[in-house]
Amino acid sequence: MSQSYRAFSDEALVHLVCNQHDEVAFTELYRRHVKSLVQNAIRKTGSKTVAEDLVQETFVKFWLGRHKFEARKNVGAYLNGILKNSIITHYHREQRQQVVPLEEAENPSADDTQQHLDMNVLSELYNQSLLKLPWKCRQAFELSRQGHSLKEIAAAMDISEKTVEAHISKALKILRVEMKDYIALALLGIPFL
């Protein structure tokens, strides 16, 4: 039966998936788009395993949200949009993970403990300040802090480089205001607690 679906257009397959919950049509859409999505994800993440996981997640999200899909949209662009958001979320999760060597975690000195507490408080304040940023502004800022170029961020977010610059500039202004008191305390070496 899947052989006959090979002649169908993407639009016809999407119609079958969204209106009739046709799993065979979904499988054909997957076959058509999976390779380019995985290649795109590998370019962005640098890891085939991560890329394949993110693409799987993309198709699961599409299937689960199929009833909301608007027929006039291009399914390839739509899948790339879901993937782009998954990649950004992946980078956000990676950024939040911190590795502390076991010997440091087991035997912190008093000064190290205070510094660790100060850094935890500062880190928490920073994360809370980030959450106050508008979504696109935060996205652009976080990607820039992960070492991505303006060009890469613009491509990932599907906006111009000038817009990326504006988002990053806005984020820095907001973060300076939000954290000015805490930064002053940190520079003076005064504990936050």
Give 120-152 pLDDT, tens digit per residue: 666 677 777 778 888 888 889 888 888 888 898
The CATH architecture one would assign to domain 2-95 is Orthogonal Bundle (1.10)
Looking at the chain, the domain(s) classified CATH 1.10.10.10 span 102-188
> CB 28: neighbour CB atoms within 10 A?
24
Give 57-79 pLDDT, tens digit per residue: 988 888 888 888 776 778 888 89
pLDDT for 192 equals 41
* CATH class as words, domain 102-188: mainly alpha
pLDDT, the chain, mean: 79
Confidence of residue 1 (pLDDT cuts 50, 70, 90): very low
Give 76-125 pLDDT, tens digit per residue: 888 988 898 888 888 877 777 655 555 555 555 555 555 544 556 666 77
Residue 83, judged by CB atoms within 10 A of its CB (0-12, 13-18, 19+), counts as buried
In this structure, are residues 88 and 143 in contact, taking their beta carbons and an 8 Å threshold? yes
Looking at the chain, the domain(s) classified CATH 1.10.1740.10 span 2-95
Q: How far apart are CA 89 and CA 139, in angstroms?
A: 9
